[in-house]
Amino acid sequence: MSAEIETHSDWAEKYRPKTFKDLIGNKKAIHELRLWAEDWEKGFPEKKAVILYGAAGVGKTSTAAVLASEMGWEYVEMNAGDQRTADVIERIAGAASKTTTLFSHETDENGKKSSGKRLIVLDEADNLHGTYDKGGSKAIADVIDKTTQPILLIANDIYGITQTIRSKSLEIEFSRIQTRSMVPALTKICKDEGITADEKAILKIAENAGGDLRSAINDLQAVTVGKTEIKEEDIVVSGRDVKETIFKALVKVFKGHHRTEALDAVKTLDETPEDLIMWVDENLPIQFPNRDEKGKDIAGINPDVANGYKVLSKADLYLGRVRRRQTYRMWRYASFMTTVGPMSVRSKEYSGFIKYTSPTRWKRMGQSRSVRGMRDNIAVKISARHSKSMRTSRNEIIPYYRRLMENEDYAVALAGESDFDMDELVYMLKAKSATKKVQSVYEKSRFIADAKRPAETEFFKTPEAEKRSSAAASDKNQMTLEDMAKKSEEKKAEEAKENKEKEEKTEDKPKNQKSLTDFF
């Protein structure tokens, strides 16, 4: 895709809040931030840096921009795409944090008086450990110590920021946006865009977004493409159906007697082995409780639980290999162990109804990290492709790609060109897991991705990729073999000629005279 990406068509950007009044939710957090900013106007606050942290799409970046604008401060931003090495941070943020702005105490174009402050914003501050950011954490800590300007860090995961930086900063948490607060915002967008929306449809979009207002806006835009009206049935995602099917499969895994039955039940699920393992993991101690036949608690760990976890840890090893090597064949082994494992280690029958729990706690911990990490990986690929910053790629181009990828041809082309792996494709195709459709797009996209890969990586090609590229280029290869034979003959003749010339020159040269090349 060579055409320049049109970013202005992105509703999440179009409706980015401009004033404090436009910001939805997190009132307490915003109030705290404003107090910190006011302290800067009076002198120095106790902590010269502030960290806004919380889930994606809840308004952290928007709040930072609104703060600068409402305070009349200049907004100086460094994001992960700026290669934040210690050196770069010191040069940009260090300099900015010491000098005052050129237009100190002047009025801006809106007639607002500027206090001459600069808000130095470091986005993705929990992402400073990569190669690009060598020494970045220490540089930031130093900049905070020396700064005469307010510094604002943005992060999803507060634990991804070093303790040294945290101790020098005021930490403000941003919570997920509540469904009931999202509804009026989405309704207003519909009104502004001339779309009639059923209340239930809006509610469903808001519920499905899980507190992420950016994705709610993206979903709203996606579902209204080419429409002037949306109804509840236009919104297809539903968490409940998934739960109902997995509950039935779990009964077979924990209580069944037939391996094939359990395996069949799991096969029909639209869940990745990663999701499945989390379900079994969460429910194993609940399903195999520490009780005897009479319902009395027994001391120690139930051996069935211990043995069950042993099998799950083996399944997890396979999953790790899949992640590292992208060999999806091993999913089969992992699924087999997760499914058949608990049934095989069970030493007795566990009767009675036990409610299954969805792996929310685990999932939330793991997923916020992995979704963020994955989005960042995708953004790295996209920013390299389009020479755009990480921020633009993450916030504007990814949503645009996701909309384009609703069309399968675009999905295959963009996945191949960007070399998305299966997990990344799940995200880009807005699937819940690696469904058959995702796998099919992935397989097709490999032809494009393999063809794009530089020749040196041929060594690391999987046998499958090797087969595909040799099939795609078989005609070309036959020609190349003939060419190669011819070239090799020509090269040999050329080398022989060069050697002969060299020998002649050496004979001409006096014995004590060395040429420059002799020294190397």
Ligand X SMILES: Nc1ncnc2c1ncn2[C@@H]1O[C@H](COP(=O)(O)OP(=O)(O)OP(=O)(O)O)[C@@H](O)[C@H]1O
Q: Which is nearer to ligand X, 16 or 112 (by Cβ)?
A: 16
In whole angstroms, the minimum distance from the beta carbon of 213 to ligand X comes to 4
Annotated binding-site residue? 55: yes
Q: Which is nearer to ligand X, 11 or 254 (by Cβ)?
A: 11
57 scored as a contact of ligand X (CB under 6 A): yes
In whole angstroms, the minimum distance from the beta carbon of 239 to ligand X comes to 22
Annotated binding-site residue? 139: no
Concatenated DSSP letters of 383-408: HHHHT--HHHIIIIIHHHHHHHTTSH
Annotated binding-site residue? 60: yes
418 scored as a contact of ligand X (CB under 6 A): no
16 scored as a contact of ligand X (CB under 6 A): yes
Q: Residue 79 has which token pair?
A: 């994001």
Of the candidate residues 23, 183, 242, 251, the single one contacting ligand X (CB under 6 A): 23
Q: Residue 66 has which token pair?
A: 């609104």
217 scored as a contact of ligand X (CB under 6 A): yes
In whole angstroms, the minimum distance from the beta carbon of 281 to ligand X comes to 28
In whole angstroms, the minimum distance from the beta carbon of 209 to ligand X comes to 10
Q: 401-406 contacts: CB < 8 A, separation 24 or more?
A: 401/428, 402/218, 402/222, 402/428, 402/429, 402/430, 403/218, 403/221, 403/222, 403/225, 405/429, 406/222
Tell me the β-bridge partners of 172.
Answer: 52
Count of other CB atoms within 10 angstroms of residue 128: 25
58 scored as a contact of ligand X (CB under 6 A): yes
Q: Residue 184 has which token pair?
A: 């009026």
25 scored as a contact of ligand X (CB under 6 A): yes
CA within 13 Å, CB half, 95: 8
213 scored as a contact of ligand X (CB under 6 A): yes
Helix/strand/coil for 121: strand
Q: What CA–CA distances, in Å, run from 329 to 80, 262, 321, 337, 423? A: 34, 20, 10, 14, 15
CA within 13 Å, CB half, 62: 23
Q: Which is nearer to ligand X, 23 or 354 (by Cβ)?
A: 23
Contacts of 32 (CB under 8 A, 6+ apart): 170, 172
Stretch of residues binding ligand X (CB under 6 A), selected from 9-17, 42-50, 400-408, 432-440: 9-17
12 scored as a contact of ligand X (CB under 6 A): yes
Site for ligand X in 162-191 (CB under 6 A): 177
Asked whether 149 and 98 are in contact (CB, 8 A), the reply is yes
Task: Name which of 10, 8, 68, 12 is nearest 36 in CA terms.
Answer: 68
Q: How many residues bind ligand X (CB under 6 A)?
A: 21
Q: Which is nearer to ligand X, 73 or 174 (by Cβ)?
A: 174
17 scored as a contact of ligand X (CB under 6 A): yes
* One-letter amino acid for residue 353 of the chain: F
Q: Which is nearer to ligand X, 52 or 86 (by Cβ)?
A: 52
Stretch of residues binding ligand X (CB under 6 A), selected from 20-28, 113-121, 133-141, 486-494: 20-28
Task: Name which of 71, 2, 75 is nearest 30 in CA terms.
Answer: 71
Q: Which is nearer to ligand X, 59 or 273 (by Cβ)?
A: 59
Q: Which is nearer to ligand X, 61 or 162 (by Cβ)?
A: 61
- Binding site for ATP, residues? 54-61
Residues that bind ligand X (CB under 6 A): 12-13, 15-17, 23-25, 56-62, 156, 177, 213-214, 217, 395
